[in-house]
Amino acid sequence: MTTPLPPRAGRRCHNALNPLHSTLYFSPDLDRELGALGLADPAAVRLAARSAPLGAVGAGTVAATFYNYRWELLARHLPTVWETAAPAAVLDARLRAVDATLRRLLGEEAVASPEMAEAAGLALRAAEACTRHARPLYSANADLPVPEEPHLAYWHAATLLREHRGDGHLTALLSVGLDPVEALASHTATGKGMAPRWVLGTRGWGRADWEAARERLRERGYLDADGELTEAGVRLRGELEETTDRLDAAPYEHLGAAGVERLTELGRGFLAAAGAAGAFPADLVGKG
C-alpha cells in the first residue's frame, strides 16, 4: 500500500531543488560561456539561456511562457538574439556553464559523490510523471537529452520539475486574475519573493509600474496602506500555492513519500552548500 505524501511535501521538495537550478542565472560562468558566443548584455544572456529550449522564438512566446517580464524588454532582445547565437549553441553553452557553476559551488567531491547520483536518479524518476499538455517550458526542456554526468542530470531533472510547477503556477495566477506585476508585487509582499530592485532590474518594469500594481492590489483588498499583505492577501497567496501544489502533485506522488523525503534532504544539502559558496546575492530576497 502506498504511503500518502505529507501535506506540502512536493512544495518542500520543489523549494529544495528549484534554487539550485536558479544558480545558473547568477553565475559568472553563464556570462562567460554566452559571452563567447557574442552575447554581452546580461538580459540577453539570461533570456537566451532560459528560452533556448523553445527554439528561435520571439518576444510574444517568451512573454506568454515567462509571464512576468515586460514585453518591451523581451522585444529588445528577441528574436534578434538568435542571429548572434543559435538556440542549439546556447543550449551547449548553458550546459557547460552549469557544469562549471556546480563544480565551483559544490566542489569536486560533492559533484562526484554517490549522493549526487542518488539525487539525480530520484529527481529523474519524479520527472517521469510530469505531463506535457499546457506545459510549454517543461515540454521544451523534456525534449532535451538527459546528460550523462550525475550532477548535470540532477540539474536537468531539477529544471524539468521547476518548469513543470512553473507552468502550472501560471494557470493559478490567471485563475485569480493577477497580472504580471501584481503577481510579482504580491509575492514580494510575502517576504519570500525577490526584492523590488531585483524585480525591476531583471523583468523590465519601472517604478511607476510597480507602484501602480501595488495600488491595484490595495483596491482589491490584498495590500494595506503600508504595502503589507492583508488577511485577504495572505489567503490569496495561500490559494495560489495550494492550486499550484494540486497541479504539480503527479511527480511527487509518483516518486512516493520516502523518495520525496530523501530527495528533499539531498537537495537541501546541495542548496546549503551552494548558498554558503555565494551562489546568490545577499539582498536578492526581501520586501525592501
Could you report the per-residue pLDDT of 179-228, keeping only the tens digit for each? 999 999 999 999 999 999 999 999 999 999 999 999 999 999 999 999 99
Task: Show the low-confidence residues of the chain (pLDDT under 50).
Answer: none
Cis amide prior to 196 (ω within 30 degrees): no
- Tell me, rounded to whole angstroms, the distance of Cα 268 from its chain centroid: 16
The confidence score (pLDDT) of residue 288 equals 81
The confidence score (pLDDT) of residue 2 equals 63
pTM (2 decimals)? Answer: 0.97
Torsion angles phi and psi, residue 220, rounded to 5: -85, -5
The confidence score (pLDDT) of residue 3 equals 74
Task: Give Cα separations from 101 to 25, 65, 86, 244, 281 (angstroms).
Answer: 10, 26, 22, 29, 15
